[in-house]
A and B are shown apart, each in its own frame.
Chain A
Amino acid sequence: MLLTINEKDSRPIYLQIISQVKEQVSSGVLKPGDELPSVRDLADSLGINMHTVRSAYLKLRDQGIINLRLGRKARIAPWQKTANLTIVRDSISERLRELIIDALLSGMSADSFRELVNQQLKEINEEVNR
């Protein structure tokens, strides 16, 4: 598993960790039951604060991506099939709204945003199917 922390990335460090773990789960590099590095190992090697790593792991746990229990290794959780769809839908739509506003504010047209979404969907699908 490769984790990169890039200062040029405008997102905060914990979000960078979260999105990379999620990406690797969706592309199948990380499989259910796989271990994640300990908070301390990760913080030491990346030269970041342990609290940053911990908050990333806690967020991942809250979203049901990993299992985190006291004294145990963080592991990728089994796939959730029966998540509460309305809640998932609401939270996704909220985040999408934020993204759309960002895109429109930076001068992107609605059509090119739609195109971007379709392209990303296609790419992720290909990664999952590979």
Chain B
Amino acid sequence: MKIKLVHPLWTHLPSVVALIILVIYILTTGPLPAEAPVHFGFSGEPNRYGSPWEVFGITIGLSVIFILVSILFDELWARQEKAKSFNWLSLMDDIFVPFMAGVGLGYLSFLKSGDDSFSFPWAYALPMVGGAVALAIILDTLRPYRPYSAPLTIEDSPTLKAEIAKSLKENASFVYWDYQNPFYVSLITVVLPLVMFLVAAITSFSQIWVGVVMLVVGITLIIPYGGQRTLVTRNQVAIRWGILGIRVLRLKITDITGMTVHEFQPLKDFGGYGIRINREMTAYYLRGNRGIKITKTKGKAVLIGSDHPEALLAVLQGITGLE
């Protein structure tokens, strides 16, 4: 599958460079001691010993996660941009990663010096963060504005309606199938768990509970793999989610009182993606800004996100006979 990023990847350069600097320093420093202080009290006295790789594993692992998450956030942000404006979100990884890298550098020089107590390495962290943020601000101002509109396909709605009518008349069984499975879902459900399992494996030697937490979170993250599927049959509308096909919505056709194509703003109206609830309705969507709003005989309205809302509307109208 081909996806085109609206937010250019080079805006993440400062954090990637900071991470590369750390890795180069670790590799050129020579053999690390097998055991070193890895945890310190408030006044800098060591209170736990272990392999220094534990520290670097956590630092690098978290940094990679942060960069990936911020690529995702920036892309979501850029796709909803109506005019070019400064993206403060893009500074997120450019602050965190250089900070972690700076602390890593400070820790490295502490290991080399052989001192007894560790003072927090502001002298490394602050210049790294400062430099990276300055570069990131320049990069985001240089970032081109690319208007994004979700690809629209015009469906042959009258044909669909006619086919539904024919199936209903001839008592044939039918299913209309619609899905949303954007690339970022695969990213979150495959890459993030892998990184987490890696971190779990690295840390489990010394800190079991960190490993366990990472393992559990990693496994939970796999569940949405596969995205959202909407299945419309003669009797019901069902939405299934994720790798297990968990049914998150089941709506009887007889309970439907009306439906329209609804346009919405994911961040403003619902504060994100997924299964979302606001005062008016419960929404199920993974991408885009269009869907079908269904009102029911009882309870809140339901919003089903779709890449082809006209087709879904035609099918629902055909089945319910409502306009």
Residues of A within 8 A of B (CB): 1-8, 29, 33, 35-38, 40-42, 45-48, 73
Whether B175 pairs with A37 at a CB distance below 8 angstroms is: yes
A38: which of B160, B176, B238, B245 is its contact (CB, 8 Å)? Answer: B245
Closest Cβ of chain A to B180, distance in Å, is: 10
> In the complex the two chains form, what is the Cα distance from A43 to B176 in whole Å?
13
A6: which of B167, B176, B179 is its contact (CB, 8 Å)? Answer: B167
User: Assuming the A-B contacts A1-B177, A2-B160, A2-B163, are A37 and B231 also in contact, with contact meaning beta carbons closer than 8 angstroms in the complex?
Assistant: yes
> In the complex the two chains form, what is the Cα distance from A15 to B119 in whole Å?
73
Q: Is B60 an interface residue (CB 8 A)?
A: no
- Which of B155, B171, B172, B240 has the most chain A CB atoms closer than 10 A to its own CB? B172
Q: Is B115 an interface residue (CB 8 A)?
A: no
Contact residues in B for A37 (Cβ distance below 8 Å): 175, 177, 179, 229, 231
Closest Cβ of chain A to B104, distance in Å, is: 38
A2: which of B171, B179, B238, B315 is its contact (CB, 8 Å)? Answer: B315
- Measured CB to CB, the nearest residue on chain B to A8 is B170
**10 A–B contacts, CB within 8 A, in A order:** A2-B315, A3-B174, A3-B175, A5-B172, A5-B174, A6-B172, A7-B171, A35-B179, A41-B245, A45-B233
Closest Cβ of chain A to B183, distance in Å, is: 11
Whether A41 pairs with B172 at a CB distance below 8 angstroms is: no
Q: Contacts A2-B315, A4-B174 given; 9 further ones with Cβ under 8 A?
A: A2-B160, A2-B174, A2-B177, A4-B163, A5-B172, A35-B179, A37-B177, A47-B173, A73-B226
> In the complex the two chains form, what is the Cα distance from A42 to B229 in whole Å?
11
> In the complex the two chains form, what is the Cα distance from A29 to B1 in whole Å?
17
> In the complex the two chains form, what is the Cα distance from A3 to B233 in whole Å?
10
Contact residues in A for B238 (Cβ distance below 8 Å): 45
Closest Cβ of chain B to A85, distance in Å, is: 29
> In the complex the two chains form, what is the Cα distance from A74 to B288 in whole Å?
23
Closest Cβ of chain B to A60, distance in Å, is: 15
Contact residues in B for A6 (Cβ distance below 8 Å): 167, 170, 172
> In the complex the two chains form, what is the Cα distance from A6 to B175 in whole Å?
12
Whether B176 pairs with A2 at a CB distance below 8 angstroms is: yes
- Report B163-189 CB contacts with A as 1/0, cut-off 8 Å: 110010011111111110100000000
- Which of A4, A46, A47 has the most chain B CB atoms closer than 10 A to its own CB? A4
User: Assuming the A-B contacts A2-B163, A29-B155, A45-B231, are A8 and B175 also in contact, with contact meaning beta carbons closer than 8 angstroms in the complex?
Assistant: no
User: Which residues in chain B, 1-18, are within 8 Å of chain A measured between CB atoms?
Assistant: 1
Whether A46 pairs with B173 at a CB distance below 8 angstroms is: yes
Contact residues in B for A40 (Cβ distance below 8 Å): 245
Closest Cβ of chain A to B89, distance in Å, is: 30
Contact residues in A for B177 (Cβ distance below 8 Å): 1-3, 36-37, 41-42
Closest Cβ of chain A to B233, distance in Å, is: 5
User: Which residues in chain B, 214-250, are within 8 Å of chain A measured between CB atoms?
Assistant: 226, 229, 231, 233, 238, 240, 245
> In the complex the two chains form, what is the Cα distance from A7 to B315 in whole Å?
21
Whether B1 pairs with A42 at a CB distance below 8 angstroms is: no
> In the complex the two chains form, what is the Cα distance from A42 to B54 in whole Å?
48
Contact residues in B for A33 (Cβ distance below 8 Å): 1
Contact residues in A for B1 (Cβ distance below 8 Å): 33
Contact residues in A for B174 (Cβ distance below 8 Å): 2-5, 46
Closest Cβ of chain B to A74, distance in Å, is: 12
- Measured CB to CB, the nearest residue on chain B to A43 is B175
> In the complex the two chains form, what is the Cα distance from A35 to B186 in whole Å?
14
> In the complex the two chains form, what is the Cα distance from A29 to B310 in whole Å?
13
Whether A41 pairs with B229 at a CB distance below 8 angstroms is: yes
Closest Cβ of chain B to A12, distance in Å, is: 14
Whether A4 pairs with B226 at a CB distance below 8 angstroms is: no
Contact residues in A for B245 (Cβ distance below 8 Å): 38, 40-41
- Measured CB to CB, the nearest residue on chain A to B178 is A1
> In the complex the two chains form, what is the Cα distance from A1 to B174 in whole Å?
10
Contact residues in B for A47 (Cβ distance below 8 Å): 173
User: Which residues in chain B, 126-156, are within 8 Å of chain A measured between CB atoms?
Assistant: 155-156
Whether A4 pairs with B181 at a CB distance below 8 angstroms is: no
- Which of A1, A7, A33 has the most chain B CB atoms closer than 10 A to its own CB? A1
Whether B170 pairs with A42 at a CB distance below 8 angstroms is: no
